[in-house]
Amino acid sequence: MSESADSHTKTLNFNIGVLGHVDSGKTSLARALSSTASTAAFDKNPQSRERGITLDLGFSSFTVNLPDHLRQESGGQPYDSLQFTLVDCPGHASLIRTIIGGAQIIDLMMLVVDVVKGIQTQTAECLLIGELTCPRMVVVLNKTDLLPPNKRQSAIEKMTKRLHKTLESTRFKDCPVIAVAAKPGGPEAPDTEEPQGVPELIELLKKQTYLPQRDPGGNLLMAVDHCFSIRGQGTVMTGTILQGSLAINDTVEIPALKVTKKIKSVQMFRKPVSGAMQGDRVGVCVTQFDPKLLERGVVCTPGSLRTLYAAVISVRKIGYFKGSLATRAKFHITVGHETVMARVTFFGLPPVDVPDMTQLVIQPSSLETPFTFDKEYFYQDEYVTAQGQANSGPDPDQWALLEFERPVTCPSLCLVIGSKLDTDIHANACRLAFQGRLLQGFEDKSYAETALPRLRIYKMKHKEGQVERVTDDYTVIGRNLFKKETNLQLFVGLKVMLSSGETGVIEGGFGQSGKFKIRIQEGLHPETKQLLSSTTKKKGKAGGKGGQANEEEPKASESQPVGIHLHFKRYIFDPHKKMVQS
Ligand SMILES: Nc1nc2c(ncn2[C@@H]2O[C@H](COP(=O)(O)OP(=O)(O)OP(=O)(O)O)[C@@H](O)[C@H]2O)c(=O)[nH]1
């Protein structure tokens, strides 16, 4: 919670994410709110006008009188005013980046809907993101001036009903819906045209506020969105503190530049302060560096962030995503404050014939599925939705390995969103594919050799061959299970099953053509011997070499009555590709 420059007044900062489909009027609304608040009689604070028009890279703020319910809630720590910081989220990529980065600090989401167009693709995506990250929402139906005056009220009511129906299945079930015209007349209208419904919206926002939980503890993480230098003073980075706190004289790290810098001064909305904490928007002046090197990025407690080449995440498919989640496919991954491409490998626990109910228990934290290197995991060609869970609840026991195209810097356990941003926004399809939480990061560039072999993800394989002949009561020669070039040593010791019922063990290769010896511990059944010797006799007649151990390949047309079945596991990241018995 911010302490304003004047130590006699204390301002409570409340962050509102402004989200909605392209062109729904987010920026116009943010502008209308800021200017209405600073010019109208909402605020008796003399500094509000100056603050209210601070528009910088999608962030604006305005100050209003503290509502009574907050005065009561804040009890021993009374505030004098309430500052709304609007985080206007523009294009999609920056939207999810901002939201994920700001997940801990957005206290309320304002979903802007074009009243004429209703719910559009991005509206639905914003709703999803809101569900993942935001405790409260207000829906703003914008552009009501475009409705014919005589049908305006009924059209607004109809749209409100439709929205409530859509929201029924979300946790924003009873959220308020309000109608406005942020910029009546559209782009051509003169700026003097007064917005409609904005004072009412401000009142509604005030009612929806609560005391946000901010934690000054833990490592500092600040998202920087702008950087410039001031001659003689240093370089200023503006941004939002996502985690922890900072103060003058602290040393902070800029991971992208691999440098640490000392904080010389801090400002909040142009007023000097001695420090700031989670949720605050600040300008931080540090010792000089070239601002061009850091357009956007993060600042943190030295050594607290990790640069990852790959990661294991818990994963849940987003129900509205129509595409498939195929292993080895590439997705845009938003993690921490970055969006990068990554190749994804999905895996889960081995399938069970009889469902073990303990495996279907949903983790209460809903996003964090325990992950450990000690378990064995089952490779999935495609993400598997847990039985009976549909897409609504968290999937237990579903993970994914992400291999980033370039390393990412992020805090541990952060939220991860996978999307297909290259899908056409007008295709009317949800581009958010899955969400999860980062559970295990791989910081070593050579993770494929060092860490991945520890990740025991296996595929089940099945091979079928035939017994060619018997050499003695305890040994048979098999064929057609392996190719000539297969390294049979990798299979030595694996158990096989004969179609006649006996089990055996692969003892080693036999000759050069991929044949192999099987040791039958219990001995061959007399019937099996009988069956095989009759085939061998037949073959002997045909080929003239029956009974003798040789490497001649039998003709494909010759039927072999005894089959060999081999089931084994293959660990997909095993550098030696050793085969293991199932
Ligand atoms: N008629 C009318 N037009 C509006 C209203 N609000 C916004 N517009 C117009 O709608 C267009 C989009 O407005 P913006 O505020 O830029 O929308 P946005 O959602 O911020 O757009 P992006 O950031 O590009 O996603 C502009 O041409 C605005 O002038 C309104 O209340 N009525």
Quick: pLDDT tens for 178-198.
Answer: 999 999 987 777 777 789 999
Section 533-538 average pLDDT: 63
Structural domain includes residue 1: no
Structural domain includes residue 105: yes
CA 397 to chain centre: 16
Question: 52 and 27: one domain?
Answer: yes
Cα-Cα-Cα-Cα dihedral sign, residues 372, 376, 381, 385: negative
Rounded to the nearest angstrom, the distance between the alpha carbon of 105 and the centre of ligand 1 is 26
Question: 201 and 155: one domain?
Answer: yes
pTM: 0.73
Question: 522 and 490: one domain?
Answer: yes
Structural domain includes residue 4: no
Model-level ipTM above the cut of 0.90: yes
Question: 160 and 126: one domain?
Answer: yes
Question: 146 and 255: one domain?
Answer: no
Question: 287 and 201: one domain?
Answer: no
User: Measuring from atom 5 of ligand 1, which residue has the nearest CA?
Assistant: 183
What is the end-to-end Cα distance of the chain in Å, rounded?
Answer: 57
Section 254-278 average pLDDT: 90
- Residue 349, C-beta contacts closer than 8 angstroms, at least 6 positions apart: 359, 375, 377, 378, 397
Residue 3 has pLDDT above 90, yes or no: no
195 lines ligand 1 (CB under 6 A): no
Structural domain includes residue 542: no
Question: 194 and 294: one domain?
Answer: no
Structural domain includes residue 375: yes
What pLDDT does residue 545 have?
43
CA 185 to ligand 1: nearest atom: 1
Question: 473 and 568: one domain?
Answer: yes
- For position 412, which CATH number holds? 2.40.30.10
Structural domain includes residue 550: no
Question: 288 and 431: one domain?
Answer: no
Question: 378 and 235: one domain?
Answer: no
Section 336-344 average pLDDT: 88
Could you list the residue range(s) of the whole structural domain that residue 427 is in?
Answer: 306-353+367-455
Given 300, 319, 334, which residue is the final one in a domain? 300
- For position 15, which CATH number holds? 3.40.50.300
Question: 68 and 204: one domain?
Answer: yes
More confident residue, 148 or 394: 148
Question: 155 and 190: one domain?
Answer: yes
Given 440, 455, 470, which residue is the final one in a domain? 455
532 lines ligand 1 (CB under 6 A): no
Residue 5 has pLDDT above 60, yes or no: no
Structural domain includes residue 555: no
More confident residue, 379 or 133: 379
Rounded to the nearest angstrom, the distance between the alpha carbon of 125 and the centre of ligand 1 is 19
More confident residue, 48 or 323: 323
> If residue 262 lies in a helix (H) or strand (E), which one and from where to where?
strand 259-268
**Domains in the chain, number:** 4
What pLDDT does residue 212 have?
87
Lowest-confidence segment of 284-298, 331-345, 354-368, 568-582 by average pLDDT: 354-368
90 lines ligand 1 (CB under 6 A): yes
Structural domain includes residue 139: yes
Rounded to the nearest angstrom, the distance between the alpha carbon of 480 and the centre of ligand 1 is 69
- For position 488, which CATH number holds? 2.40.10.190
User: Measuring from atom 13 of ligand 1, which residue has the nearest CA?
Assistant: 25
- Residue 380, C-beta contacts closer than 8 angstroms, at least 6 positions apart: 327, 346, 347, 348
User: Measuring from atom 23 of ligand 1, which residue has the nearest CA?
Assistant: 90
